[in-house]
């Protein structure tokens, strides 16, 4: 009779996913940290058309709707409390300016009131958003 050699079966092969997961989590952290978050004023505004102008990266966005309501950080703000909201956002980014996105049907009185409030809050870099023709 032949001698039989008892062989043990090979253990099942498995792929170690730990290094791949480490790379995926590092990439996820990289994208989260480097992402820029754009603040929106909270409403869609139909801006007026301008023939000249320069682009700007705003720090504070204030929107004025058709009905002269004022919006900051997706919240409707009373004109009396606007200065407090601007000062709060100014502490987050002290070197940034303020951009007013006024609807074409909004009154100039409300736009002037927002601009005066921003100047009273210490913001000198003030601009009004328009769209290209």
β-pair partners for 60: 98
Contact 64, 106 (CB under 8 A): yes
Q: Measured on CA atoms in the order 106, 104, 57, 116, is the torsion positive or negative?
A: negative
pLDDT of 75 = 85
Higher pLDDT, 35 or 4: 35
Q: How much is the average pLDDT of 110-115? A: 89
Average pLDDT over residues 70-94: 85
- The mean per-residue pLDDT over the stretch 105-114 comes to 87
**Residue 69 CB coordination number (10 Å):** 16
What percentage of the chain exceeds 70 in pLDDT? 76
Instruction: Using the predicted structure, report yes or no on whether residue 1 has a pLDDT greater than 80.
Output: no
Domains of the chain by start residue, with CATH: 60-128 (3.30.420.270)
Residue 96 CA to residue 75 CA, distance in Å, equals 20
Helices and strands counted in the chain (H then E) = 3, 5
- The SS3 of residue 37 is coil
| Residue 23: per-residue pLDDT | 92
23-60 pLDDT, tens per residue? Answer: 999 999 988 888 766 666 666 666 555 555 555 555 78
Instruction: Give me 105's structure tokens.
Output: 């049907």
């Amino acid at each position: 009779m032949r001698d039989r050699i008892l062989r043990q079966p090979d253990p099942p092969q498995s792929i170690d996913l730990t290094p791949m997961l480490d790379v995926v989590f590092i990439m996820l952290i990289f994208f989260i940290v480097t992402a820029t978050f754009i603040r929106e004023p909270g409403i869609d505004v139909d801006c007026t058309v301008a023939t000249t102008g320069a682009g700007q990266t705003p720090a504070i966005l204030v929107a004025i709707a058709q009905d002269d309501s004022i919006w900051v950080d997706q919240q409707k703000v009373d004109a009396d409390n606007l200065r407090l909201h601007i000062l709060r956002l100014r502490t987050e980014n002290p070197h940034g300016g303020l951009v007013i996105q006024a609807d074409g049907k909004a009154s100039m009185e409300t736009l002037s009131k927002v601009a005066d409030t921003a100047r009273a809050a210490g913001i000198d870099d003030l601009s009004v958003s328009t769209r290209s023709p």
